[in-house]
Each structure stands twice: as structure tokens, then as C-alpha cells.
Amino acid sequence: MNDKSAYIGRKPCGCVMGVVTDLGNRFTAETVASFIKDGLVVNHISWDKYREVAREPTFMECSHGQLPLALEGVDIPPALEEIAAEEENE
């Protein structure tokens, strides 16, 4: 079990281009606000759901020419490495 959660922000094209771990603090709120300001549609998701989203082929790599947003200083969940490690154990 993992009770962590995350906020993701999707571009209008559908690609997830913003992600931040939900730390329940001001930093999280400000990051989410910046996603919204940048035009992303924000969703609050469980860690399990986040693991699914992180497998999407366009995760943080928009194929529509959009650049990632608000990544600097953002606490990006270590999902990709974490998922890879977990899958090796399965």
C-alpha cells in the first residue's frame, strides 16, 4: 500500500506535462496553481493511478510539440525509476 498521491496537469492535447507529489503544503498548492496558470487541466490522483499515468507514452514527452511546464524545482515523483524497479521484482 502506498498512501501517497499526486497532482497531474494535462495539456489540451491530452499529454501529461506537469506532475507534483501531493505534499499537502504551500509548495504543492503553488505548483498546482502554476499548472493551472499554464493552461493545464489538473487532476488529483492516487499513487496507483499515478503509476498508470506514468506509463503513458506521452508522459512528460508531448508528441505535439509542447514543452514541459513548471518542472524547475518541482518535486517530481520518482515514479519512472520506482516503477521500473518494482516491475523487475514482479
Run of H or E including 41:
strand 41-46
Instruction: Round to whole Å and give the CA distance between 1 and 15.
Output: 27
**15 near Zn ion, rule: CB under 5 A:** yes
Please report how close the Cβ of residue 89 comes to Zn ion at its closest, in angstroms: 32
**33 near Zn ion, rule: CB under 5 A:** no
Please report how close the Cβ of residue 55 comes to Zn ion at its closest, in angstroms: 16
Stretch that binds Zn ion, among 7-15, 39-47, 71-79, 80-88 (CB under 5 A): 7-15
Instruction: Round to whole Å and give the CA distance between 82 and 34.
Output: 26
